Structures are given as structure tokens and as C-alpha cells.
Amino acid sequence: MIRAEHLVKRYGATLAVDDVSFAVERNQIVGFLGPNGAGKSTVLKMLSTWLPPTSGRAVVAGCDVARDPMGVRAALGYLPEHNALYDGMRVLDFLRFMARARGLSGALARTRLDWVIDACNLVPVQHKRVQECSKGFRQRIGLAASLVHDPEVILLDEPTHGLDPLQVVAFRDFLRSLSKDRAILFSSHILSEVAAICERVLIIQGGRLLTDTRVETLEARAKAEGQDLERVVLDIVRKGAQSTNRVEVAR
Amino acid sequence: MSAARSPATAVAEPTASAPRAAPTQRGASLRPSFLRGATLVAGRELGASFESGVAYVYTIAFALLANSIFMNEFFLAGQVEMAPWFDSMPLLLAVFLPAVTMRSWAEEKRQRTIELLLTLPIRPLQAVLGKLLAALGLFGVFALSSLPIVAMLMTLGDPDLGRLVGGYLGLGLLGLLFLSFGLFLSAVSADQITAFVSSALLAFLLVLTGDERVVAVLDGLAPGLAAGSFVYDHISVVPQYEAFARGVVSLSGILYFTGLSAAFLWLNVLLLERNRG
């Protein structure tokens, strides 16, 4: 459902994403883990068609992001990094706008709107303006907007940002319930979040994909080394950073 | 709701029960038609202008200014015609229309909603046309504020209908051009103020180069080049617009306004497609 092949993104002299390849299949939730500035959002932006890759190829729901961006956008549910929303609109109007922009109308639009408002618990704020909503509600409005058309592929960039611990736990259950028949890629810099939701994790640092592995493999390694999971991931990131630095020096 | 058996696990409050499944009928792969996408963007944009009150403030200010300028001229000249109203339009629109377009793209960029909008299945061309339609809608409301004057002239005498229709057509084309480059400059600018100042500057340039005093000064600077006359004949909006206001509807005038507008709209689309992130 999501296939990235040797993706590269360069901003002038800065290499933001360096030869990243991975795949996410249907029924999978994959976590994209890495420190701030690692390149997670840039990869998601390329998959969402917002940024064109400098080189490499990405295919989402069978559509090439460069050749058929409209096909990608139609099949994709995307929650961008900063979760920017139209603040002046009322929540229900905003979601209605998003549904119509997805080509939904009539009974199907109403069904989908009812579902996302209920599932994302937006009933208390549906008639409020977006700007009047708390950070947690804003995050859920963004999530609802990305799910309103029942997409096959879902990209979520730091989806739990702004949610309180109870909301984070609920969000995990919600995301797991969505994974059936869909491919979900979500980014985070919090290991416990990724480990709790995903079966697979991609670890990125300095724009390079360091690991593409199952969470249980990492857990087994942690057990074997007598360390906690966090330490194992930190080791991977640290080694990745060192090798990146060596490459930079060599260049 | 199709699969509403188990209670929803709201994102806010975790429960022990399983989350409710999404309705099975998928809307994925759907996308709005070209016209629907453009009108959707236009509706959102126009709605935001009226919800925020900006549209009301602009309309009232425009109507007060335009109509009081006209009434002053009307009583001085004592002629039953719209000419004074149309004559005041280029300068007034050079201020008001940049104010309409300044927020279009600059605000989307500032709030980062541009990423949300352009990752929907809406083409940049649809988005640009949607913004243009919304701006034209507000401009239409401005123009409607002159209807009491038309009604008054019809009651008092027998104004030249040809000049009236030509005047409104010229006004529409002038507005289209100002809005088109206003949108483009809003897409280029980092903030609303820059967008407003650059659009107003370009509009004033196109209007003032149609003033005979400016033409004389420019011609005087380099008599051999006759730069003022060249700019007046080929670049300024004034001679084109004045022809319409006199009731002369020419193909060259229509092509001038629509051609330039199309060029700015095309540049706007190009900018949205290429200059991201």
C-alpha cells in the first residue's frame, strides 16, 4: 500500500532524506520513530505529495506520487505535522468541507461525518469554532478530517501531540481498530507510543533509515542484552548518528 | 451508520470496549469534479470573509466612498450619467481589491493550511480559480452597491444604456485583472502586508500611467523615447478601461484584460505546483 524506493530530499546543500526505502502493507500499522529533525515529516510530506522527492520513487495505494498525485491524494488520509486547521470555521462546517473536498455528498457524506464526529468524540465541540477548541480537540479534529473519507492509506505525523495521557491510550485503541484493511504509517519521537501500537518500526536519524524491524525483535534484543527497549533504540540512533557524521566528514 | 454495534472508543475517553468499526461503504478514491472543487474553495473563502466581518467592513467602506464621490460630482456637473462613478473606480479598486486578495494565499501559508488544502484531491488550478471566484464574488458585492445610483439615474432621466453596460463590463474586466495579480502577489508574499503593498503598488502603477500629467512627465524625461506615451498606449489600464466606460466594447480591450489576468493566474498555479514546503 505504501512503497518508498530510494527516496532522497535535498534542500540546497542540506540532505534532509537520504536514500530511504521501505514498504507498508495492508493491515499494518508501522511506526516512524526518530528524534526531532530526523526527517520523519519530510518523508511523510513526500508520500502525501506535498513535497516532490529530489530523487527516488514512492507509490501510495498503487499511485505514483510524482505521476499521479491526485490518485494518491484521493486514497490518502493525511494528518500533517502542525495540524493546521481553518480556525475561523465551525468544526462541523470544517469537516463537511473536508468531506466535500473528498468528493463525498448526500447520505454517504452524512454517514461518514456522523462516524468521525462520534469516533473522534467531537460531539461537544461540533458547533464551536475551531479556534475555540483546546489543543486535544484540535488534534482530534485534524484526525477526523484525515479519516472522513475512510482512506485506505493513513499517514499521521505526530498524531498524539497535544493529547493528554488518557487520550493517548484511547488513541492507540482507535488506531488499532482502524488498521483492519488499511495501511497506517505514523510518526513519533516517543518509543513507548510506537511500541504499544505497532508491530513494526522504522527508525530514522539524520535523514537515513537506520532500522526497519519488528518491535518484538527489538524487545528480544533488549532482553538478550539485559537492557530496556529505550536503551536499545538509543544505541541504534547513536550508532546511526556516528556513521552519518563519518559520512559527512568523508564528503 | 453501518457497523454501529459496539460502543465507540472515543479518542478522549478510553473504555474497555472495542472501538466501533468505520462504516463499511468507502469514500476513498472519490474526488470532486473540477467545478465542484473550485466552487468548494470559493465557498469556504467567501464564507471566511463574511464570518470574520472583513467583507462587511470592505463593502460598507467601498460603498460610502464610491457613492459619496459620485454624489459630489453629480451635483456639481448636474448630468444624469454614471461616468463620475466609473471614473473613480480605477483608483478606488487599486486600494480595495489588493485588500481583498492580500490574505488569500499569504494567510494560508502563515497558518500552514496550504499543506492541508493542496494535499486534498483538489488541483492547484481548482484552488486558484476557487480563490478568484471568491474574490470576484466580493467584488460583485462592491459593484452591487452602485445599484441605488443606477435606480436614481433611471428615475431622474434617461441615462445612456450602452455606456452603462460598457462601463460595468469594463469594471468587471478591470476587477478581474486587479484580483488576478493580487492573488499571484499574495502567493509570492510571505505575509498579508507585503501582499497588499505590492498589489496596490502595481495597481497604482497601471492606473497612474494613464494620467496625462504622469505621461507628460515621463515623456519629458526622455523626449526621444516617449516612454510615457508608450506605457500609456501599451501597458496602462486606463485607456482600455475608459473605452469601455464610453460604451466602446473592443476585442483588443477584452483580450488585454483577460490575457493579462490569465497570465497571472497561470503564474499563480505554477508557483503552487513548484514552490512547496
The answer to whether B57 and B141 are in contact (CB under 8 A) is no
Q: Provide mean pLDDT across the span B142-150.
A: 94
ipTM of the complex: 0.88
What secondary structure does DSSP assign to B33-90, as a single string? -HHHHHHHHHHHHHHHHHHHTHHHHHHHHHHHHHHHHHHHHHHHH---SSHHHHHHHH
Q: What is the pLDDT of residue B199?
A: 97
Could you read off the pLDDT of A12-48 as tens digits, one per residue? Answer: 888 999 999 999 999 899 999 988 888 999 999 999 9
Residues of B within an 8 Å Cβ radius of A: 1-2, 8-15, 18-23, 25-32, 36-37, 40, 44, 47-48, 51-52, 111-113, 115-116, 118-123, 276-277
Phi, psi dihedrals of residue B117, rounded to the nearest 5°: -65, -45
Could you read off the pLDDT of A176-202 as tens digits, one per residue? Answer: 888 888 999 999 888 888 888 888 999
* CATH fold of A2-86+153-250: Rossmann fold (3.40.50)
Could you read off the pLDDT of B46-84 as tens digits, one per residue? Answer: 999 998 899 999 999 999 999 999 998 888 887 888 889
> Does B163 score more than 50 pLDDT?
yes
Amino acid in the structure at residue A240: G
CA atoms of B197 and B135, how far apart (whole Å)? 18
Residue from the list B14, B21, B113 with its beta carbon closest to the beta carbon of A85: B113
- For Cα atoms B266, B104, B172, give the angle at the middle one, nearest 5 degrees: 65
Could you read off the pLDDT of B209-237 as tens digits, one per residue? Answer: 998 898 888 888 877 888 888 889 889 99
Is the pLDDT higher at A63 or at B221?
A63
Residue among B2, B6, B11, B103 with most chain A CBs within 10 A, to mutate: B11
Does A126 touch chain B if contact means CB atoms closer than 8 Å? no
Is the pLDDT higher at A196 or at A239?
A196
What secondary structure does DSSP assign to A34-98, as a single string? --TTSSHHHHHHHHTTSS--SEEEEEETTEETTT-HHHHHHHEEEE-TT----TTSBHHHHHHHH
- For Cα atoms A57, A247, A44, give the angle at the middle one, nearest 5 degrees: 30
Closest of B104, B128, B110 to residue B46, by C-alpha: B104
| Local confidence band at B160 (pLDDT 50, 70, 90 cut-offs) | confident
Could you read off the pLDDT of B85-96 as tens digits, one per residue? Answer: 999 999 999 999
- For Cα atoms A166, A169, A172, give the angle at the middle one, nearest 5 degrees: 150
Question: Under an 8 A CB cutoff, do B277 and A80 touch?
Answer: no
CA atoms of A191 and A228, how far apart (whole Å)? 11
Question: SS in 3 state form for B185-245?
Answer: HHHHCCCHHHHHHHHHHHHHHHHHCCCHHHHHHHHHHCCCCCHHHHHHHHCCCHHHHHHHH
| Local confidence band at B29 (pLDDT 50, 70, 90 cut-offs) | low
Amino acid in the structure at residue A220: A
Q: What is the pLDDT of residue A234?
A: 83
| Local confidence band at B8 (pLDDT 50, 70, 90 cut-offs) | very low
Which pTM value belongs to this model? 0.87
> Does B166 score more than 90 pLDDT?
yes
Closest of A183, A175, A158, A185 to residue A30, by C-alpha: A185
Q: How far is CA A150 from CA A23, A29, A68, A79, B24, in A?
A: 21, 16, 20, 13, 9
> Does A248 score more than 50 pLDDT?
no
Return the C-alpha cell found at A27.
Answer: 493491515
Could you read off the pLDDT of A123-149 as tens digits, one per residue? Answer: 999 999 999 998 889 999 999 999 999
| Local confidence band at B39 (pLDDT 50, 70, 90 cut-offs) | very high
Q: What is the pLDDT of residue A78?
A: 95
